[in-house]
Structures are given as structure tokens and as C-alpha cells.
Amino acid sequence: MVDDRLLIDLGDRIKSSERLVVFSGAGLSAQSGIPTFRGGCDHPLWSEYDPMKLASPEGFASDPDLVIKWYNWRRQQLAEAAPNAAHHALASLMNATLVTQNVDDLQERTGTHEDHVLHLHGSIAHDRCHDQCGWSERVDLAEPPGMRQCPACGAAARPGVVWFGESLPHETWEQAAHACAHADCMLVIGTSGVVQPAASLVELAGSAGAFVVNINPEPTPLDDLADASVHGGAAEVIPQFFAS
């Protein structure tokens, strides 16, 4: 049971922030039915699948068909999902910087402009050239393409996500790091905080003086970095911050 007074106080603090950063992970989309990777749902992805086989350049080289099929299964799952109350509440934050590790497009489906969401780990709603020739294309999530070549250069096409061992998109990372280094408040939602360099943004914001609020039903290492932690689900907690 989360204390109502605490939610009101934190909500006031968040709403009065002039340089708010929202940093989210898989827990933000969990109540939309999208599985997390490490916990907080019945079948976290990395408890059932090997990330090195499905989400690494080595895995793609060894069995590209398996990788594409796995991402297409996740795309079809996403096609049937809808934004939850937390995504809708965040959509009202016109001046905040939204930084996410999520590859889904649920935030954008609330009406948030795509330029307003910094996807550190890329987008599952896009394919791109594996050789990075610059080609990228939005795909139909309900009927995604199978194995194919990049139409621009003939290399393999692949999901537009960041895999283990790959660099984050440079400009997106720079924008996120800049916002965190100048933030006065950071709202952390639904991340285990164990994947780097993304998780380091919480420390960056905290050491820049931001007031850090962590939302997660379970304890995480980020609780130690946060000024306040609320243990609850994003779809219940986040709308309450913006209720009045």
C-alpha cells in the first residue's frame, strides 16, 4: 500500500520540475502485456531465451532466421498491445525529456511525437541495414517481413534494435546524457538498472543534483541512488502523480 501523502508530495515535486527527465525500462510496458526481460512478470524473456542467441551480432550470424522469427513474434505481440495508464499520463509532459530503454512504440501511440522519445536501444518497429549503410524502414508490426536484404546495399536487413555488444545510437545517447546532466528531477520507471551504459544515466542525473524518484514493484539497486522510491506498478503510480 503506497502512502497517498507521499504520492502527492512527489507529484508536486515532479510537476514543479523545470528540467524533468523520465527514464524508463520494460516495467513501463509490463501492464500493457509486454514481457519484461528479468523480472516482475510471469515469464521474463531472459529467463526463457538466451540473449546471446537472439540479441547479439553473433547470434544473428549463426542463425539469422531464428533471430528474425523471435523479433517478429515480439512484434506481433506489440501489435496487439495498447498503451497503459502510465504511458497516457506521461503523454501530458510536454516539456520533459523522455528517455527509454524500451524498443516498443507504446509511448508514441498515446500521441507523443516520435522526436520526443529518446530510444536508447532502438526501435523494434523498424528494420535497418545490418551493415549500417543508413537504410531504415518502419515495418508492419502485425505482418512483419521475414528474412530479407537491405534494398539499398544488399546486406542483411534486421530489426532496428541495439544488441548486446553494439553501441548505442550516438546522437540519441548524447541528447539523453545532456538532459540528465542538467536535470533537476528524474523519474525512473520500471527498470532493473543493470544494463549499461543506460543505467549510468541515473547516477549522472543524481550527481548533477536531480531529485531521483524510482518506481518499481520490486527493490532494485537504483533504490540506493534514488531520493525516493515508490514500490508499485507504473500504471497505478504514475497517473497519481499527475492526478491534480
Give the interface with ligand OAD as residue ranges (CB under 6 A): 25-27, 30-31, 36-40, 44, 101, 103, 121, 161-162, 190-192, 195, 215-218, 220, 233-234
Q: Least CB distance from residue 42 to ligand OAD, whole Å?
A: 11
Q: Which is nearer to ligand OAD, 101 or 112 (CB)?
A: 101
Spatial separation of the C-alpha atoms in residues 45 and 73, rounded to whole Å: 12
Residue 2 or 195: the one with the smaller Cβ distance to ligand OAD is: 195
CB of 157 to ligand OAD, least distance (A): 18
Could you say which of 87, 88, 119, 121 is catalytic?
121
Active site residue 121: yes
Smallest separation (angstroms) from ligand OAD to the CB of 195 = 4
Say how far apart CA 68 and CA 77 lie, in whole Å.
14
For ligand OAD, which is the closer residue by CB, 190 or 206?
190
Give the nearest distance from C-beta 69 to ligand OAD in angstroms. 17
Give the chain as a DSSP string. ---HHHHHHHHHHHHT-SSEEEEE-THHHHTTT---SSSSSSS-HHHHS-HHHHSSHHHHHH-HHHHHHHHHHHHHHHHT----HHHHHHTT-SSSEEEE---S-TTGGGT--GGGEEETTEEEEEEEETT-SS-EEE--SSS---S-B-TTTSSBEEEEEPPTTSPPPHHHHHHHHHHHHT-SEEEEES----STTTTHHHHHHHHTTPEEEEE-SS--GGGGT-SEEE-S-HHHHHHHHT--
Nearest CB to ligand OAD, comparing residues 4 and 42: 42
Question: Could you tell me the sign of the dihedral formed by the alpha carbons of 120, 58, 34, 189, in that order?
Answer: negative
| CA atoms of 244 and 167, how far apart (whole Å) | 41
Nearer to ligand OAD, 13 or 38 (CB): 38
Minimal distance, residue 154 CB to ligand OAD, in Å: 26
The residues annotated with a catalytic role in the active site are 121
